[in-house]
């Protein structure tokens, strides 16, 4: 059943709608088929029985809570975000703002060990050990899912995507987010009837308070989890009205998988990089952790040959991950970056397809 609500301020609709769930305890062939279907239709899937140890998740969550509970002057020693490091409200170089504070780290163990000295001065070794173990297990999950995507797509080389995350020079990141509570927002009437406090951002279309604005993830694949506070929404495109926001109920036992721009380009648009956002409307704090799986800066991204057909010509130009990052940092958060790399229909000199380092 679909339940739609239309705000008084606009025609934007927010619907309660079933979204795909994949159980990794299912037979692999069936799970791979459903995973690909979800990535085609939604660019998003909830994954359960994922195999990441609860103890590893709990330790990571505890380290995040410990950091965000520090006095502002202590947290600021881990910033400013350049883009890595600690940031608050400002989430980009081009004026993008949100209602959160965050810690963005490179997934390289050496980087984490070095950065831990400014994040957790009392015990940086413990902090880096917890984060590195979390990254290790979630990266393994990401690689497993990417191999299943390769199988579901019928690729001859099913590990073509996962090898990019296993490259020693991969550019993967991990981000811890903390969305402060909004007192009174969960009372009758909700947040739509309240005016935001001075300096607070508000979504003029939906009446809600924006935690992290509408965007797609530039990387290959994002693996997200949160505490038991709702906030995540994905955009389901519909031809008749331009899109419907789907709230995703929180489930701390699950991971949410988000297709990124790079995977959309490599599959020639068959898999969809979903646009999503985080609202900050709860009277309880919301925390989330996201692993962004990315290739090495020099990796050249282009559509796989098997994804190009007479009825599906090449959609995007070839580009390196470094070139894509440069374009990303020059744009606002909500910009559709892949539009900058659309292929010229009259250009027949494109390479034959594939991924190279």
Backbone angles phi, psi at 88, to 5 degrees: -140, 125
Residue with tokens 């984490």: 112
Is residue 59 in some structural domain? yes
Q: Residue 13's pLDDT is what?
A: 59
Closest Cα partner for 287 from 207, 144, 175?
175
**Chain centroid to CA 128:** 22
Is residue 5 in some structural domain? no
Pairing, β 244-247 against β 232-236 = antiparallel
The neighbour count for residue 55, using CB atoms within 10 Å, is 9
The encoded tokens of residue 34 equal 């459903």
Is residue 93 in some structural domain? yes
**Chain centroid to CA 218:** 8
Contact criterion met (CB below 8 Å) for 317 and 350: yes
Q: Residue 356's pLDDT is what?
A: 67
CATH code at position 282: 2.60.120.330
Backbone angles phi, psi at 55, to 5 degrees: -65, -35
Q: Measured between alpha carbons, how far is 44 from 258 in angstroms, rounded to an integer?
A: 5
The single-letter DSSP state of residue 344 is: P
Q: Residue 16's pLDDT is what?
A: 63
Q: Measured between alpha carbons, how far is 20 from 7 in angstroms, rounded to an integer?
A: 26
Q: Residue 50's pLDDT is what?
A: 98
Q: Residue 12's pLDDT is what?
A: 53
Q: Measured between alpha carbons, how far is 1 from 262 in angstroms, rounded to an integer?
A: 33
Rounded mean pLDDT for each run of 10 residues along the chain, 357 residues in total: 33 67 96 97 97 98 97 96 94 90 98 96 96 98 98 97 98 98 57 39 57 96 97 78 84 97 98 96 95 98 95 96 96 94 72 60
Question: Strand, coil or helix: what is 113?
Answer: helix
Is residue 200 in some structural domain? no
Count up the domains in the chain and report the number.
Answer: 1
Is residue 14 in some structural domain? no
Is residue 88 in some structural domain? yes
Is residue 83 in some structural domain? yes
Q: Residue 3's pLDDT is what?
A: 30
Is residue 321 in some structural domain? yes
Q: Residue 98's pLDDT is what?
A: 93
- pTM recorded for the entire structure: 0.89
Residue ranges making up the domain that contains 143: 25-183+207-341
Contact criterion met (CB below 8 Å) for 87 and 96: no
């Amino acid at each position: 059943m679909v339940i739609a609500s239309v705000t008084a301020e606009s025609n934007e609709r927010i619907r309660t709608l079933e979204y795909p769930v994949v159980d990794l305890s299912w037979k692999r062939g069936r799970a791979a088929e459903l995973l690909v279907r979800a990535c085609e239709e939604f660019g998003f899937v909830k994954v359960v029985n994922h195999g990441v140890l609860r103890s590893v998740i709990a330790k990571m969550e505890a380290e995040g809570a410990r950091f965000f509970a520090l006095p502002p002057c202590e947290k600021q020693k881990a910033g400013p975000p350049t883009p890595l490091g600690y940031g608050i409200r400002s989430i980009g170089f081009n004026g993008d703002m949100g209602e959160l504070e965050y810690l963005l780290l490179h997934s390289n163990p050496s980087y984490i060990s070095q950065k831990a000295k400014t994040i957790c001065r009392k015990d940086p070794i413990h902090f880096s050990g917890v984060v590195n173990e979390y990254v290790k297990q979630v990266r393994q999950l990401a690689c497993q899912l990417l191999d299943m995507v390769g199988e579901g797509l019928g690729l001859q080389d099913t590990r073509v995507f996962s090898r990019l995350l296993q490259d020693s020079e991969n550019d993967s990141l991990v981000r811890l987010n903390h969305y402060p509570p909004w007192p009174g927002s969960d009372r009758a009437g909700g947040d739509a009837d309240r005016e935001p406090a001075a300096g607070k951002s508000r979504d003029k279309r939906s009446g809600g308070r924006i935690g992290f604005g509408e965007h797609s993830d530039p990387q290959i694949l994002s693996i997200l989890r949160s505490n038991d506070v709702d906030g995540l929404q994905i955009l389901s495109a519909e031809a008749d009205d331009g899109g419907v926001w789907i709230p995703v109920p929180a489930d701390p036992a699950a991971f949410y998988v988000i297709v990124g721009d790079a995977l959309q380009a490599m599959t020639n648009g068959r898999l969809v990089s979903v646009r999503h956002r985080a609202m900050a409307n709860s009277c309880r704090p919301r925390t989330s952790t996201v692993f962004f799986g990315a290739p090495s800066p020099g990796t050249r991204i282009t559509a796989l040959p098997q994804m190009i057909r007479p009825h599906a010509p090449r959609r995007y130009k070839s580009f390196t991950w470094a070139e894509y990052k440069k374009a990303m940092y020059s744009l606002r958060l909500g910009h559709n970056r892949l539009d900058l790399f659309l292929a010229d229909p009259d250009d027949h000199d494109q390479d034959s397809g594939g991924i190279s380092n």
